[in-house]
Amino acid sequence: AARTTPPPDGGTGSAAIEEFLPAEAEVPAGFVLETETTRTQADVAEALGGTDEAAQLLTDWGWSANIERAFSVADPAAVPPGGTTEIVLSVHEFGGTESAAAALTYFSDVLASSGFADIQVEPIGDQTRALSSLTDAGTNVAIYVQSGAFLIRAGGFSPLGDPTVDLAGLIQTVLPTE
């Protein structure tokens, strides 16, 4: 079930972002929190290719915070065939709705330029884009969702299946209901 208390639009950094991050009880059964990472603006610019353009856009968009939680299955042997084995949820806060929408396009275009292809998912939040990459190891999926001044990226991996449903469900869980 989705949460009923929306985070503030344009809050003060990590306090507002925390509202979008899932607890272990909100991820699919069998997953445990592996890491929680807070990134600086310089870290995010580097992840976007390390260009002056990326750094300037983050400034222009009023980027203020990023927190990421990574989850993995506690017992890989217990994962059903085709099951998701890794989930990462990252949330960025921007200066406003238009900035977060522009960031969704830019961030997801960076991923698309690395070989990920667009896939269809039901719309979530204010704007949604989903991408997938099939490798010899399995399927990687990333779903970007803009909700107000926030950009959420859910990434997942499955060695034999498709993590899309798990990722979309997790985003719907952490987004507030209207």
CATH 3.40.1000.70 fits 14-22+55-174, yes or no: yes
pLDDT at 81: 85
Domain boundaries, the chain: 14-22+55-174
Residue 9's identity, in one-letter code, is D
To which residue do tokens 């299946």 refer? 161
Which pLDDT value is given to residue 4?
A: 42
What three-state secondary structure class fits 169?
helix
**Model-level pTM greater than 0.85?**
yes
By three-state DSSP, how is residue 78 classified? helix
Tens-digit pLDDT profile for residues 144-178? 999 999 999 999 999 999 999 999 999 999 997 65
User: What are the φ and ψ backbone dihedral angles of 62, each rounded to 5 degrees?
Assistant: 70, 30
Q: How far apart are CA 167 and CA 111, in angstroms?
A: 17
For residue 100, CA distances in Å to 77, 140, 159, 175 come to 39, 23, 32, 15
